[in-house]
């Protein structure tokens, strides 16, 4: 869950959004360079993490890096 928290905090800062902003999913979905499949995988892993299930951390980290590259 911490990987997600850090990722969304970086997004918030880069977008200069208010601290209480929770519109990260909408922003990602509307970003033209972020692949829809990457967002769907990120959402699935986010739900799994918040459901207490184990995640492939290396794959999650690589996905976050790929999305970071797509939005920068």
Residue 20 has pLDDT above 80, yes or no: no
Q: What angle do CA 22, 26, 28 make, to 5 degrees?
A: 105
Residue 22 has pLDDT above 80, yes or no: no
Determine the 3-state secondary structure of 56 from DSSP.
coil
pLDDT, tens digit, 9 for 90 and up, residues 42-66? 999 999 999 999 999 999 999 999 9
Q: How far apart are CA 14 and CA 57, in angstroms?
A: 24
State both tokens at 26.
Answer: 């909408």
pLDDT, tens digit, 9 for 90 and up, residues 23-38? 889 999 999 999 999 9
As a dihedral over the C-alpha atoms of residue 30, residue 31, residue 35, residue 39, rounded to 10 degrees, the angle is -60
Residue 70 has pLDDT above 80, yes or no: yes
């Amino acid at each position: 869950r911490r990987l997600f928290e850090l990722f969304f905090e970086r997004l918030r800062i880069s977008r200069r959004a208010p601290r209480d902003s929770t519109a990260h999913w909408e922003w990602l979905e509307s970003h033209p360079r972020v692949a829809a499949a990457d967002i769907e995988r990120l959402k699935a892993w986010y739900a799994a993490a918040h459901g207490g299930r184990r995640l492939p951390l290396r794959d999650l980290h690589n996905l976050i890096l790929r999305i970071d590259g797509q939005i920068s």
